[in-house]
A and B are shown apart, each in its own frame.
Chain A
């Protein structure tokens, strides 16, 4: 079974600064996907970024980028130029590839507060 660990329950960052959220996972699979999802307060969960394990290049989406270290089973999220709208719960998730629907295994989340 896969496990996903987010060791930082809460983090705080000032507006315009950079913050890195940590995520480690445990799997014996070689092919899989990794995700970061964002859940703003009282709002819908949305995808932030996705990484395919076979890709060596780290995924980026505007101010969001990841540091994917496959051998270390580490998948951290870097948010540059933090904005107040980045305040949210962030979940790291692992997807094992199967022949049918693939399940997501989530970490316990990191609550990020962006302050003025």
Chain B
């Protein structure tokens, strides 16, 4: 089974702090994603990566950055946390069979609930 893990289930930070959220997958997936989940808004894509050191902005990248130095690890960085970044953050990964052009299902981690005070 695919396993996607996130470094923390709950996190409390102060406004202005730099925050790191870590995600690790153990299935050698090329693609990794960061979403935030808010009530009434569903999940919205922040950033994604399709290879090591490669990244693309999602729908709401402002205030966030990402890092992917190793294939299995994808980090989300809040450079200066603000209260409007209080949310649930979900990481996901998927396999991309480039030759066949098959897009595989995304598998999700358990989520990190971040509270910024």
Contact = CB atoms under 8 A, between A and B. Distances in A.
Interface size bracket, B side:
20 to 34
A63 interface: no
Interface size bracket, A side:
20 to 34
Nearest to B6: A44
A35 B92 CA distance: 14
Interface of A: 4, 9, 33, 35, 37, 43-47, 50, 91, 93, 95, 97, 100-109
* Chain B, interface SS category: strand
Given A44-B110, A47-B105, A95-B103, A101 B42 contact: no
Contacts of A108: 40-42
A105 B106 CA distance: 12
Given A35-B105, A97-B103, A101-B49, 19 more contacts: A37-B108, A44-B111, A45-B90, A45-B111, A47-B107, A50-B105, A100-B31, A101-B31, A101-B33, A101-B56, A103-B33, A103-B45, A103-B58, A104-B45, A104-B106, A106-B43, A107-B42, A108-B42, A109-B42
B61 interface: no
A45 B6 CA distance: 13
A71 B5 CA distance: 39
27 contacts: A4-B42, A33-B103, A37-B108, A45-B90, A46-B108, A47-B105, A47-B107, A50-B105, A93-B43, A97-B101, A97-B103, A100-B56, A101-B30, A101-B33, A101-B48, A102-B31, A102-B94, A102-B96, A103-B48, A104-B43, A104-B92, A104-B106, A106-B44, A107-B42, A108-B40, A108-B41, A109-B42
